């Protein structure tokens, strides 16, 4: 297996990174490419090597303050393979699923209401002094409170299943280390109906906005692409487990039911000299045609159906807009994200009423292996964890493909499309900054793999001519 | 306005796997071991919007964080939530000032909020453990926090230990 090269970026900054966008022009001043430079997590391979494998599901949570549960569970799934315990007990699998749906729920709620809703509620071109969460709190206080309470509910689910708010220890190789007590269950059940109602309301907001503004949104940062995600063996959306499926922009199947343990036979990563983040692609199509989108939009496109009734009804409305064909509208990510939010809440409701969660059979083990691969659908898309463990139980190699890396090429394409449509001359206008921001945000990139954000994450935008000369440069944030 | 409990929340944030970024949680861990009366401790990798819902339970909140600049071993400033602006374009975390502003706007909570910044030196790569100078700073910050949480003369400490950095609002910290 290939081991990711350790990359150190200087100057080391404590801020979680910045989003630096370079727009490249040709000799005629036309946009030829946009490059989104993202500071990815650094030094993880070195950090993890030499650690005992059972520590990994806890250690990997330190990769990211935003989606620690996704890393926790992906690593645990990989280590299930190492201990030969991949066929979990019903209690273990359902506890993990509950934890995962809690993570999806809180993450999607945060993104939609606190990061994206200002764009939707106030318009892309509204003053940035208003177009923010504080602005939403001022004009739509009920919505803002609701969003906080949805996020809080997801966090409470995580705490009850992972054991604590941070550095959760719930998932262990081959299972889980606790079940859900009746007191925990009853406390969480009290809020279920309210959370379902809020989730339905969120889908309505996203749907109404998208449908009412479709003419404007359809071309915004949009392009045809492949889509990739895990699906269940019957094609249903499955955010925790399943096999890989990829389709093209027209819906033609590229891959289907690919065993995650064989992902390297189907997925490769390209290195480009200008980016620290790799560019994954489907091997059979090559890097030029094999790149793909992941995340809510991709999952809505790849799934044959959703196995919860309210989300499935919402999915049918979603696919009707494109007459059953894949939806390639970048801004449709928001609608897809809210359908998943509702699905996650329905799943949590069902799980909380499932007596298996109070079961006592928590761990299984089988034949020891040296390689462990774990994939799941994190809030932002497919997450790959791959480890090699030596005979002394120590990690000797690790390779991770995080969701934001999977969306690397699409985010660059989205920015390029926006630049082509909105760059006039070489001057970076407020409107261009706004539109680049909105396009990137649709993908919900998680850039918190570096240290936490003290202060805010600046967006830096530069226009560069064909000789490499910077024609204009602006920063915001 | 909510009736706040007569408690102080000491809230450290940072990633312990990022070298000195873990100073905030490290201080909280040290104070937690003392079990000071009327003090609740909490820690997280970063602050999030739901933290705003908790502010109403406290008379005062002290956010503890690693500092990349300012005086060693630590500084102590008042958090100014006026004029809190936008979130970063894709950042999922919020600043102490944004937590306080959201608590005010969404939950009608007015809480006295302060920041204790402990000067760190090594940030960046994954590396558990604090640098030697950061450890020294932590020891002095723990001694200060212990005294401050007992005496609760926060405004006086702002005068004594405030970090009057340019653009940060004098002795207040507008993160």
Rounded to a whole number of angstroms, the distance from the CA of B124 to the nearest CA of chain A is 6
- Pairing assessment for the beta strands A31-37 and A19-25 based on DSSP bridges: antiparallel
Q: Which of A409, A462, A475, A474 is nearest to A25 (CA)?
A: A462
The pLDDT tens digits for B93-132 are 678 888 898 899 889 998 999 999 999 888 766 677 899 9
Please state the φ and ψ torsions of residue A317, each to the nearest 5 degrees. -65, -35
* Residue listed under structure tokens 């200087």: A10
- Residue A223 burial class via C-beta count within 10 angstroms: exposed 0-12, middle 13-18, buried 19 and up: middle
Q: In whole angstroms, what separates CA A18 from the centre of its chain?
A: 18
- Pairing assessment for the beta strands B60-67 and B112-119 based on DSSP bridges: parallel
Whether residues A390 and A446 fall in one domain: no
B69 contacts on A by Cβ (under 8 Å): none
Of A62, A445, A455, the CB nearest to B95: A455
Better-scored residue on pLDDT, B155 or A139: B155
Domain annotation covers residue A3: no
The pLDDT tens digits for A334-355 are 999 999 999 999 999 999 999 9
Domain annotation covers residue A392: yes
Is B85 within 8 Å of A128 when comparing Cβ atoms? Answer: yes
Express as a percent the part of chain B with pLDDT over 90.
51
The residue range of the domain holding A456 is 19-39+407-476
How far apart, in Å, do the first and last CA atoms of chain B sit? 25
Whether residues A391 and A416 fall in one domain: no
Domain annotation covers residue A309: yes
Whether residues A369 and A422 fall in one domain: no
- Residue A402 burial class via C-beta count within 10 angstroms: exposed 0-12, middle 13-18, buried 19 and up: buried
The distance between the two most distant Cα atoms of chain B, rounded to a whole number of Å, is 44
Whether residues A161 and A254 fall in one domain: yes
Average pLDDT over residues A136-163: 90
H/E stretch holding B118 reads: strand B112-119
CA distance A416 to A23: 7
Is A128 within 8 Å of B86 when comparing Cβ atoms? Answer: yes
Domain annotation covers residue A66: yes
Q: What is the pLDDT of residue B91?
A: 56
Is A214 part of the contact surface with chain B (CB cutoff 8 Å)? no
DSSP codes, A420-441:
HHH--TT---HHHHHHHHHHHH
* Domain of residue A199, CATH code: 1.10.645.10
Please state the φ and ψ torsions of residue B11, each to the nearest 5 degrees. -120, 105
Rounded to a whole number of angstroms, the distance from the CA of B43 to the nearest CA of chain A is 8
Mean pLDDT of chain A: 88
When pLDDT is cut at 50, 70 and 90, the band that residue B1 belongs to is: very low
Average pLDDT over residues A385-389: 96
Q: Is pLDDT of B171 > 50?
A: no
CA distance A144 to A156: 19
Contact between B158 and B171 under an 8 Å Cβ cutoff? The reply is: yes
Is A131 part of the contact surface with chain B (CB cutoff 8 Å)? yes
DSSP codes, B5-32:
-S-EEEEEES-TTBGGGGHHHHHHHHHH
Whether residues A324 and A445 fall in one domain: no
Q: Which of A331, A355, A359 is nearest to A418 (CA)?
A: A331
Better-scored residue on pLDDT, A6 or A118: A118
Contact between A17 and A39 under an 8 Å Cβ cutoff? The reply is: yes
Q: What is the pLDDT of residue A141?
A: 86
Is B88 within 8 Å of A457 when comparing Cβ atoms? Answer: yes
Rounded to a whole number of angstroms, the distance from the CA of A408 to the nearest CA of chain B is 15
Question: Which residues, numbered 143 to 172 in chain A, qualify as contacts with chain B under a Cβ-Cβ cut-off of 8 Å?
Answer: 144-145, 147-149, 151-152, 155, 165-166
Question: How crowded is the C-beta side of B167, counted as CA atoms within 13 Å?
Answer: 2
CA distance A454 to A13: 11
The pLDDT tens digits for A450-474 are 333 333 456 778 888 989 898 988 8
B88 contacts on A by Cβ (under 8 Å): 453, 456-459, 477
The pLDDT tens digits for B42-53 are 998 888 888 999
Q: Which of A62, A59, A37 is nearest to A49 (CA)?
A: A59
- Structural domain count of chain A: 2
Of A68, A132, A454, the CB nearest to B87: A132
> A377 has which bridge partners?
A382
Is B85 within 8 Å of A132 when comparing Cβ atoms? Answer: yes
Is A110 part of the contact surface with chain B (CB cutoff 8 Å)? yes
B52 contacts on A by Cβ (under 8 Å): 148
Q: Is pLDDT of A43 > 90?
A: no
Of A14, A133, A448, the CB nearest to B87: A133
Q: Is pLDDT of B170 > 50?
A: no
Vertex A166: Cα angle to A171 and A58 (nearest 5):
40
Q: What is the pLDDT of residue B83?
A: 59
Q: Is pLDDT of A374 > 80?
A: yes
When pLDDT is cut at 50, 70 and 90, the band that residue A133 belongs to is: confident
The pLDDT tens digits for A210-246 are 999 999 999 999 999 999 999 999 999 999 999 999 9
Whether residues A310 and A417 fall in one domain: no
CA atoms A163, A168, A169, A173: torsion sign = positive
The pLDDT tens digits for A174-212 are 999 999 999 999 999 999 999 999 999 999 999 999 999
Whether residues A24 and A150 fall in one domain: no
Out of A302-316, B68-82, B158-172, the most confident range is A302-316
Contact between A435 and A422 under an 8 Å Cβ cutoff? The reply is: yes
Whether residues A81 and A145 fall in one domain: yes
Domain annotation covers residue A8: no
- Give the three-state DSSP class for A124: coil
- Residue A455 burial class via C-beta count within 10 angstroms: exposed 0-12, middle 13-18, buried 19 and up: middle
Contact between A145 and A127 under an 8 Å Cβ cutoff? The reply is: no
The pLDDT tens digits for A62-71 are 776 678 899 9
Whether residues A396 and A258 fall in one domain: yes
Rounded to a whole number of angstroms, the distance from the CA of A284 to the nearest CA of chain B is 33
B21 contacts on A by Cβ (under 8 Å): 14, 451-452
| List of long-range contacts for A388-392, beta carbons under 8 Å, 24+ apart | A388/A1, A389/A53, A389/A82
CB pairs under 8 A between A and B: 171
Following CA atoms A269, A271, A276, A282 in sequence, which dihedral angle do they give, to the nearest 10 degrees?
Answer: -20
> A244 has which bridge partners?
A230, A258
How far apart, in Å, do the first and last CA atoms of chain A sit? 40
The pLDDT tens digits for A78-131 are 999 999 999 999 999 999 999 999 999 999 998 898 888 888 888 887 877 777
Whether residues A152 and A300 fall in one domain: yes
| Best residue of B23, B29, B45 to probe chain A, by most A CBs closer than 10 Å | B45
Question: Which residues, numbered 3 to 22 in chain A, qualify as contacts with chain B under a Cβ-Cβ cut-off of 8 Å?
Answer: 8, 12-14, 16, 19
Q: Is pLDDT of A3 > 50?
A: no
Contact between B90 and B40 under an 8 Å Cβ cutoff? The reply is: no
A166 contacts on B by Cβ (under 8 Å): 43-45
CA distance A358 to A371: 31
Out of A44-48, A356-360, A450-454, B94-98, the most confident range is A356-360
Domain annotation covers residue A5: no
Is A447 part of the contact surface with chain B (CB cutoff 8 Å)? yes
Rounded to a whole number of angstroms, the distance from the CA of A430 to the nearest CA of chain B is 14
Average pLDDT over residues B162-173: 48
Q: What is the pLDDT of residue A127?
A: 78
Domains and CATH numbers, chain B: 8-165 (3.40.50.1450)
Q: What is the pLDDT of residue A446?
A: 72
User: What are the b/e assignments for B162-173, b being 16+ CB within 10 Å?
Assistant: bbebeebbbbbb
Is B91 within 8 Å of A457 when comparing Cβ atoms? Answer: yes
Whether residues A321 and A247 fall in one domain: yes
Rounded to a whole number of angstroms, the distance from the CA of B106 to the nearest CA of chain A is 6
Residues 6+ apart with CB under 8 A from B153: none
ipTM (interface pTM): 0.78
Rounded to a whole number of angstroms, the distance from the CA of A204 to the nearest CA of chain B is 23
Query: Cβ of A43: how many Cβ atoms within 10 Å?
Result: 16
When pLDDT is cut at 50, 70 and 90, the band that residue A426 belongs to is: confident
Q: What is the pLDDT of residue B58?
A: 95
Domain annotation covers residue A250: yes
CA distance B89 to A477: 7
Rounded to a whole number of angstroms, the distance from the CA of B97 to the nearest CA of chain A is 10
Of B13, B90, B106, the CB nearest to A452: B13
Whether residues A398 and A411 fall in one domain: no
| Best residue of B91, B94, B131 to probe chain A, by most A CBs closer than 10 Å | B91
B16 contacts on A by Cβ (under 8 Å): 62
Of A14, A445, A455, the CB nearest to B123: A14
Q: What is the pLDDT of residue B174?
A: 38
Average pLDDT over residues B49-76: 91
Q: Which of B113, B173, B140, B114 is nearest to B23 (CA)?
A: B140
Domain annotation covers residue A13: no
């Amino acid at each position: 297996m290939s081991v990711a090269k350790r990359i150190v970026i200087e100057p080391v900054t404590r801020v979680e990174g910045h989003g630096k966008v370079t727009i490249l022009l040709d000799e005629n001043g036309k946009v030829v490419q946009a490059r989104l430079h993202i500071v990815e997590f650094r030094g993880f391979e070195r950090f993890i090597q030499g650690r005992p494998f059972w520590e990994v599901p806890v250690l990997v949570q330190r990769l990211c303050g935003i989606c620690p549960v996704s890393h926790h569970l992906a690593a645990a799934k990989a280590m299930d393979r190492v201990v030969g315990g991949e066929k979990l007990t019903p209690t273990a699998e359902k506890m993990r699923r509950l934890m995962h749906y809690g993570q999806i729920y809180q993450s999607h709620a945060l993104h939609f209401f606190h990061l994206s809703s200002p764009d939707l509620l106030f318009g892309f071109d509204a003053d940035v002094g208003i177009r923010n969460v504080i602005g939403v709190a001022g004009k739509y206080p009920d919505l803002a409170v609701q969003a906080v309470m949805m996020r809080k509910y997801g966090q409470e689910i995580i705490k009850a299943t992972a054991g604590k708010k941070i550095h959760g220890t719930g998932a262990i190789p081959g299972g889980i280390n606790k079940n859900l007590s009746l007191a925990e269950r009853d406390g969480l059940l009290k809020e279920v109906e309210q959370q379902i109602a809020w989730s339905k309301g969120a889908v309505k907001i996203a749907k109404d906005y998208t449908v009412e503004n479709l003419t404007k949104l359809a071309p915004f940062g949009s392009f045809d692409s492949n889509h990739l995600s895990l699906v269940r063996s019957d094609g249903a959306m499955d955010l925790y487990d399943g096999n890989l499926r990829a389709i093209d922009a027209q819906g033609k199947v590229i891959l289907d039911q690919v065993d995650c343990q064989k992902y390297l036979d189907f997925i490769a990563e390209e290195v480009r000299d200008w980016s620290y983040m790799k560019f994954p692609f489907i091997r059979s199509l090559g890097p030029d045609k094999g790149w793909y989108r992941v995340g809510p939009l991709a999952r809505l496109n790849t799934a044959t159906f959703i196995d919860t009734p309210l989300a499935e009804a919402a999915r049918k409305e979603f696919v009707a807009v494109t007459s059953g064909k894949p939806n390639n509208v970048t801004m449709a990510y928001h609608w897809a994200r809210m359908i998943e939010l509702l699905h996650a809440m329905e799943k949590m409701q069902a799980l909380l009423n499932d007596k298996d969660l109070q079961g006592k059979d928590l761990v299984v083990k089988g034949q020891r292996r040296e390689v462990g691969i774990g994939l799941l659908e994190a809030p932002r898309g497919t997450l790959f964890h791959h480890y090699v463990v030596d005979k002394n139980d120590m990690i000797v190699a690790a390779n991770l493909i995080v969701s934001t890396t999977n969306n690397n090429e699409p985010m660059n394409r989205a920015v390029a499309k926006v630049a082509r449509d909105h760059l006039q001359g070489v001057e970076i206008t407020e409107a261009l900054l706004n539109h680049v921001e909105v396009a990137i945000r649709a993908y919900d990139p998680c850039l918190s793999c570096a240290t936490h954000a003290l202060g805010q994450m600046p967006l830096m935008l530069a226009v560069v001519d064909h000789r490499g000369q910077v024609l204009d440069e602006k920063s915001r944030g | 306005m909510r009736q706040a409990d007569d408690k102080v929340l000491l809230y450290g944030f940072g990633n312990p796997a990022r070298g000195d970024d873990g100073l905030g949680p490290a201080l909280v861990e040290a104070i937690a071991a003392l079990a000071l009366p009327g003090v609740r401790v909490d820690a997280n990798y970063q602050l999030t919007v739901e933290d705003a819902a908790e502010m109403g339970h406290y008379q005062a909140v002290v956010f503890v964080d690693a500092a990349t600049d300012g005086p060693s071993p630590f500084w102590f400033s008042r958090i100014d939530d006026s004029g809190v602006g936008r979130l970063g374009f894709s950042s999922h975390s919020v600043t102490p000032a944004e937590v306080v502003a959201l608590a005010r706007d969404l939950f009608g909570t007015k809480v006295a909020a302060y920041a204790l910044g402990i000067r760190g030196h090594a940030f960046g790569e994954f590396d558990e453990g604090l640098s030697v100078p950061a450890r020294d700073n932590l020891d002095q910050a723990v001694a200060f926090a212990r005294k401050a949480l007992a005496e609760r003369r926060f405004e006086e400490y702002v005068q004594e230990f405030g970090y009057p950095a340019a653009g940060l609002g004098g002795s207040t910290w507008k993160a």
